[in-house]
Structures are given as C-alpha cells and as structure tokens.
C-alpha cells in the first residue's frame, strides 16, 4: 500500500498519515506507536515533511506576482515587465521672494542668484531648491524678485563611486527614502576632473546607440534603488577610473 494523503500540511495530519502507512506493513501490524521509541522517529519524519511542505509552498507562492507577499520578490518579478516601483515623493511648495540688494560704487547689481541648496527651514523641515535661479535686479530700486520658486522638503545627498570594471557595475542609492524624481546622475573622467557629463534616465532601448549617455534605474533590495549604465552596445559603457 502506498501513502495516499499527500495534501496534508498540518503536523498532526502528516504524523497520522505516516502511522497509517506503517500499520499497513506486516512487521508493524500490532505495534504501539504512541508509547514506543519508534514514535520519536515518526515525529522526526513528520517534522521534516512538515517543514519541506511549508518551504515548498512558500517558495512557489513567492515565484508568482499574484501570490507573492515579500516586497523584494514582487519587485524582482515586476522587473521582467520593465516596471520600476515609485519612490516616496518629497513635499513641494512655491515661494515668492523679494530681495533688496545693496549698492556697490553707487550701482545696484544687474542680477541676483539664489544658489542651489537649503533656502528655508521650519521646525524639523529643510526646504531646498535643486537648481541655481537667477533674476534681473530693478536698476532703480535694487529689488530682485523670485516668483514661483519651487522648493522641496528634505536633504540633498551627494554620493559617488569610482568605476572598477572588474567588480559589480551596479551602483546603489544608499538611502531608501530617496525621491528618484530628483535623482541626477553625472560622470567625471577621473577623481581630479572638475567637469562632468550629465546622464539621462532611459526607459526604452530602441533609440540608444553605443555612445548614448544614459543610465537605467531599478529597485534592488531593501527598497534601495540601483543605477546601471550601458554595455557599449546599448548605451555608453563606463571605463575604469571614471567617477
């Protein structure tokens, strides 16, 4: 007789199934499984079967996007569909700033620049502008007006990697709380270089050439985003020493 209850996932059901099978063997026909040393072996077999069944069930569930419950697994399956999960979005606001400048040698400056970075604080919040903004100063009053200045809450973080083609070519954004809409990727020729080339995010590959300066974005482990570059066929490949 072969075991016929192969769907049981409960420990006691598995144990009962093993006992039922052993009782079909002539040498165990009148054996007392509950009060014998053999009951320990039955327990071990039941535990092993229980854990194997549980792991197999979980593994199969995590292999499909409709039944997966662990975020990293859902994200990895979604990569096959070219889907990148949205990141958090920083709060935004608009400012109207009127700045009175001072005369130098009896003349007001012609322009006024608001530099990139923190421009306002309140409580525990820091508000930034992401690009330098320049306006014209009124020659008679010396007032420069910044109208509809977009500010975003958070901290501006800079991080860099030195390219080594003998190691992984995946560059991780270190914070899980990064707004990827504000991500800016640039590449310098080396660590001492002061000029850099701006790379744009690519979502399709049909228009890319071996020299197109693009990067690809995906979510990795622990909700941290990963930046990849081209391979020399689809998008420009980075070389050793670049930053």
- Residue 27: predicted pLDDT: 75
Q: Is 80 exceeded by the pLDDT of residue 4?
A: no
| CA–CA gap between residue 93 and residue 153 (Å, rounded) | 8
Region of poorest pLDDT, from 9-13, 43-47, 50-54, 237-241: 9-13
Mean pLDDT over 130-159 rounds to 92
Region of poorest pLDDT, from 39-43, 110-114, 214-218: 39-43
Start-to-end CA span in the chain (Å): 69
Region of poorest pLDDT, from 22-26, 155-159, 208-212: 22-26
pLDDT per residue as tens digits for the range 191-210: 999 999 999 999 888 899 99
Nearest to 49 by CA among 79, 6, 78: 6
Contact at 8 Å (CB) between 187 and 213? Answer: yes
Number of other residues whose CB lies within 10 A of the CB of residue 127: 19
Pick the residue with more confidence: 13 or 138? Answer: 138
- When pLDDT is cut at 50, 70 and 90, the band that residue 5 belongs to is low
Number of other residues whose CB lies within 10 A of the CB of residue 173: 20
């Amino acid at each position: 007789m072969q075991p016929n209850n192969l769907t049981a996932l409960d420990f006691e059901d598995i144990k009962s199934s093993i006992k039922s099978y052993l009782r079909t063997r002539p040498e165990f026909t009148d054996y007392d499984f509950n009060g014998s040393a053999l009951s320990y072996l039955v327990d071990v077999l039941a535990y092993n079967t229980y854990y194997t069944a549980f792991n197999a069930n979980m593994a199969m569930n995590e292999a499909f996007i409709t039944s997966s419950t662990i975020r990293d697994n859902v994200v990895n399956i979604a990569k096959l569909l070219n889907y990148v999960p949205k990141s958090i979005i920083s709060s935004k606001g608009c400012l109207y700033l009127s700045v009175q400048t001072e005369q130098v040698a009896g003349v007001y400056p012609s322009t006024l620049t608001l530099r990139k970075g923190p421009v306002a604080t309140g409580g525990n919040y820091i508000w930034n502008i992401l690009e330098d903004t320049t306006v014209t100063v009124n020659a008679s009053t010396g007032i420069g007006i910044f109208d509809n200045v977009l500010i975003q809450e958070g901290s501006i973080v800079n991080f860099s990697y030195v390219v080594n083609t003998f190691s992984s070519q995946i560059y991780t954004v270190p914070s899980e709380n990064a707004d990827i809409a504000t991500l800016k990727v640039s590449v310098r020729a080396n660590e001492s270089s002061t000029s850099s080339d701006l790379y744009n995010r690519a979502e399709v590959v049909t228009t890319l050439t071996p020299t197109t300066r693009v990067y690809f974005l995906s979510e990795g482990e622990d909700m941290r985003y990963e930046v990849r570059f081209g391979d020399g066929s689809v998008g420009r490949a980075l070389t050793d020493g670049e930053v």
